[in-house]
Amino acid sequence: MKIARVRPQGEGAMHTVEHALTEDEQIFDDNAACLQREIDWFSQALEIRLQQYFTSSAASSIFTSLPPPDLHLDNALYAQWAHKNKLNQDERLLLILALLPHIQPQILDTFFIHNAQCERQFTEFGGRKGQVHSGFLPTGETAMFIIAGNDLNKRLQLLSLFDSGHVFSQEQVLVFRSSSSDEPLLTCLLTVSCEFINRILRNRHDLLDYSSTFPAKRITSDLEWEDLVLPPEVVDDIEHIRMWIKHGEHILSQWSVGKSLKPGYRSLFYGPPGTGKTLTATLIGSELNMAVYRVDLSSLISKYIGETEKNLAHLFDQAETKNWILFFDEADALFSTRTQSSSANDRHSNQQIAYLLQRIEDFPGVVILASNLRANIDPAFSRRFQSLIYFPMPNATLRLQLWLQILSGHYADEEQDKLIELAEKYEISGGAITNVVRFAAMSALQSEREIIEHQDLIKGVMKELRKEGRTI
């Protein structure tokens, strides 16, 4: 698309030039124009509400003469999303209110007006000032005031906007966060998710990354299935997971078993370190176009009662509607066996495990737990897993295959027999073999060689054995 841009051309002259908008520029232009119309409409509604409030005039239907902008033919991403989800004027006012601190925060400065009778802000306005942001941060009460005023019947109807079943919550558009569980529901801040801002306002479909509110990191790998060396029985078990992810929805809907079977899939990978548990989860996600997020348990677990459950709830809520795999590595820390409730700490720990059990069982996506020892995982979890897959230490045949794959031809041909002997003699995992080859490669480079020799590998193996507290 081309638009005319007018620029000065010499003194007193005007010259019209044609400038072709890029796709991103057009998206920003469309969104800006659409949002400006919404903001203008919101500002008029706010002005009417404040005028009605301070003059005490009855105006229960003040918006009947103030129709919202027509979005049906608007190409803006915001308009398309609002039209697709059939947002009514109440929902659009709420959404714009939540967006204003991000795009035009000065619109809400009017709420800083003080009540002269009690020398503080009006309770009806809700909201608060941010810790860093100097502008007004709206809460649920702010939305109620603008949309419903003092109309109690209307306020009760609007409570549905904050339900977990509403599109705002289901699609993680708005996050309703209260500063305390003892506070009224509507004191919650109206927080727009970063994902919605990126997707709708910036046309960016970036996946979430690690943050204080999302304690999980996306993991990827350049390796392929042929790089993963596992026993045949483990490969068969993994195939069941892949088949369920591909065809589970068909089974639930077409085989009339949806009442008996829950959606989602839960699996426990257990076995010694370095045997392929993390790589397997990553490859499943890569093959099936699912993002794999490794959950940071250290950020989830809190010594304060109720905080761990709160952190878990937030994590599962964000993943609820996403095509993700949640991967809990070293899951013993969070999913350990329950104990007799002999102290307050024991009861707190057991409460966390019970909550986890319920959330994992109800989660409609894929959850994979990884542990070095199955015995460390509470049996109540095990009973609810669709599969428990043991990743054993590779035998001599698999170890030789791993050595050959990881060395990738950078090994002296005349020492191939010694490599077979190495695979048979030392029982180490695939992860340990990777470490040995890395060490051997550095040793070869230090000796100005392009080929790894047997002595390099032996030195590397010795280092790995010492790390594990083992000797020859």
For the ranges 123-137, 348-362, 437-451, the one whose mean pLDDT is highest: 437-451
Question: Rounded CA gap, 428 and 396, in Å?
Answer: 10
pLDDT band at residue 52, thresholds of 50, 70 and 90?
Answer: confident
Residue 50 pLDDT exceeds 60: yes
Residue-level length of the chain: 472
pLDDT of residue 113: 85
- For residues 373-380, give the mean pLDDT: 74
- For residues 31-45, give the mean pLDDT: 93
Question: Rounded CA gap, 268 and 164, in Å?
Answer: 29
Residue 346 pLDDT exceeds 70: no
Residue 223 has phi, psi (to 5 degrees) of -75, 160
- Better-predicted residue by pLDDT, 48 or 352: 48
Task: Decide if 441 contacts 457 (C-beta within 8 A).
Answer: no
pLDDT in tens, 86-128: 999 999 999 999 999 999 999 999 998 887 777 778 888 998 8
Residue 396 pLDDT exceeds 90: yes
Structure tokens at 55: 């003059």
- For residues 228-237, give the mean pLDDT: 95
Question: Rounded CA gap, 418 and 398, in Å?
Answer: 16
Domain ranges of the chain: 23-201, 216-390, 396-467
Residue 444 pLDDT exceeds 80: yes
Place of tokens 């031809």: 409
pLDDT of residue 217: 87
Structure tokens at 14: 């005007």
Residue 1 pLDDT exceeds 50: no
Question: Rounded CA gap, 341 and 331, in Å?
Answer: 21
Q: What is the pTM of this model?
A: 0.68
Q: Report the SS3 class of residue 197.
A: helix
What is the per-residue DSSP string for 72-128? Answer: TT--SHHHHHHHHTT--HHHHHHHHHHHHHHH-GGGGGGGG-EETTTTEE-GGG--E
pLDDT band at residue 237, thresholds of 50, 70 and 90?
Answer: very high
Residue 146 pLDDT exceeds 90: yes
Task: Decide if 139 contacts 127 (C-beta within 8 A).
Answer: yes
Pairing type for strands 174-177 and 189-192 reads antiparallel
pLDDT band at residue 20, thresholds of 50, 70 and 90?
Answer: low
Task: Report the Cα 61 to chain-centroid distance in Å.
Answer: 40
Task: Decide if 365 contacts 216 (C-beta within 8 A).
Answer: no
Please name which of 233, 227, 229 lies closest in space to residue 397, comparing C-alpha atoms: 229
Question: Rounded CA gap, 446 and 309, in Å?
Answer: 51
Question: Rounded CA gap, 424 and 190, in Å?
Answer: 62
- SS3 assignment for 392-417: CCCCHHHHHHHHHHHHCCCECHHHHH
In one letter, which amino acid is 282? T
Structure tokens at 215: 């304690």
Cβ neighbours of residue 60 under 8 Å, at least 6 residues apart? 149, 151, 154
pLDDT in tens, 397-420: 999 999 999 998 888 877 788 999
In Å, how far are 7, 8, 15, 150 from 12, measured between CA atoms?
11, 8, 10, 57
Percent of the chain whose pLDDT exceeds 90: 43
- For residues 151-158, give the mean pLDDT: 91
At the topology level, CATH places domain 396-467 in Helicase, Ruva Protein; domain 3 (1.10.8)
Instruction: Spell out where 296-340 has E strands.
Output: 324-328
- For residues 381-385, give the mean pLDDT: 76
Lowest mean per-residue pLDDT among 19-23, 207-211, 241-245: 207-211
- Better-predicted residue by pLDDT, 49 or 254: 49
Task: Decide if 412 contacts 453 (C-beta within 8 A).
Answer: yes
The CATH classification of domain 216-390, taken from the options 3.30.465.10, 3.40.50.300, 3.30.360.10, 3.90.1170.30: 3.40.50.300
